[in-house]
Amino acid sequence: MKAIIIAGGLGTRLRPLTYNRPKPIVPMVNKPFVIHQIELLKKHGIKEIIVNLHYLSDSIEEFLGDGSRLGVKIYYSIEGSPLGTAGAVKNAEEFFDSEPMVAFNGDVLTDADISRLISFHKKNKAVATIALTRVEDPTPFGLVITDEKGRVKKFIEKPGWNSVSVSGNMINAGIYVLDPSIFASFGKGIKYSFERDLYPRLLEEGKPVYGISFDSYWLDIGSPKKYLEAHRDILRGEVKVSFDGKKNQNEVWICEGANISPSAKLRGPSIVGPHTRIAANARINPHSTIGDAVRISEGATIEDSVILRNSLIGKDVKLHDCIIGENCIIEDFAEIGEGVVLADYSIVKKGSKLA
């Protein structure tokens, strides 16, 4: 069985982190996000993976290569222009075979049981099976209404609260098992959506489309707020993903080559990346993710924040609930607070306050 990761989007919601890198390789606990998705698929026996690309595709191909170092085989499907979710999968038709395949939205952080999804699909002889998850606010997503056996009766895209009160809050989780035959009904190069076009069409034709609910962790990580939330959840162990580092007694994962002053205070759950230097009297407080080769100066305090690789954090700097891009310089005594996201190569001058 093959899988396709739909990762061709521009990542506009996650800017400025995606100005210099495509969303699939934005770091998540110091590992490119797409690696977490590949590892999940591999865990469930899927070792042939198509990666659909558009924005900054060369950098992803260069990073992933043929997949051999990850223990998988990777194929690439490049969109010349955005084709929508179903159109993007159709664009990879040359790699299809006769078997059902898994399709995975490139925004989704999850530890869902993919094997269970596949088994349910085959048991029901479905042409499409949709993983469903329950959320508090379904209005940005798409409601999926099923009967008692899981057969889909109706889709409601971007529902209003009136629809939610009547139909519940079970949404399309962006993970599918699909029969390749369903893509024969529309042409290649046409912008086509699963949610608005293909799935409603299959229902009109009476085709067996099913949904199955999961209680597994699920999060759309497409915004800075959700990106920070995902890091906190990973560090707290709420989602099963792997990351580097050896955990100490304070629940801090410390990676190889990190150099930490004996007088620095580290509290977890947090992660300190490889070759990072933490100076005297610095404080690393819970839910901090510090990337590769970051330099944290004397007396700095970091909390609920993500710092990407090779950034310099000055003396007595205070960071709280923010994201610092790669190769940034935060000069002494600066304070950066809730909701701030710095693009790569940003410089914050001495004593500045950003919030």
Instruction: Decide: helix, strand or coil at residue 89.
Output: helix
Supply the pTM of this predicted model.
Answer: 0.88
Q: What is the pLDDT of residue 165?
A: 47
**pLDDT of res. 59:** 79
d(CA 323, CA 321): 7
Instruction: Answer for the pair 28, 221: CB distance below 8 angstroms, yes or no.
Output: yes
Query: How far, CA to CA in Å, does 301 sit from each of 259, 265, 321?
Result: 17, 9, 12
Instruction: Return the pLDDT at 147.
Output: 86
Q: What is the pLDDT along the chain (355 residues), one digit of tens a residue?
A: 899 998 876 667 888 988 888 788 889 999 998 999 999 999 999 999 999 887 677 778 888 889 899 999 999 998 888 888 899 999 998 899 889 999 988 888 999 999 999 999 999 999 999 999 887 776 767 688 888 888 998 887 665 555 544 455 778 888 999 999 999 888 888 888 888 889 899 999 999 999 999 888 998 888 899 999 999 999 999 998 988 889 898 899 999 999 999 999 999 899 999 999 999 999 999 999 999 999 999 999 999 999 999 999 999 999 999 999 999 999 999 999 999 999 999 999 999 999 8
**Residue 173 zone, left/alpha/beta (φ > 0; ψ -120 to 50; rest):** alpha
Domains of the chain with bracketed CATH:
2-235 (3.90.550.10), 246-354 (2.160.10.10)
pLDDT attached to residue 56: 72
- Dihedral angle computed from the Cα positions of residues 198, 201, 202 and 203, in that order, rounded to the nearest 10 degrees: 130
Q: Which long-range CB contacts under 8 A does 264-273 form with residues at least 24 apart? A: 268/235, 269/235, 269/236, 269/237, 270/235, 271/29, 271/30, 271/235, 271/243, 271/245, 272/245, 273/30, 273/244, 273/245, 273/309
Residue entry with tokens 């690309």: 53
Distances (CA, A) of 274 to 26, 58, 257, 259, 309: 17, 26, 5, 9, 9
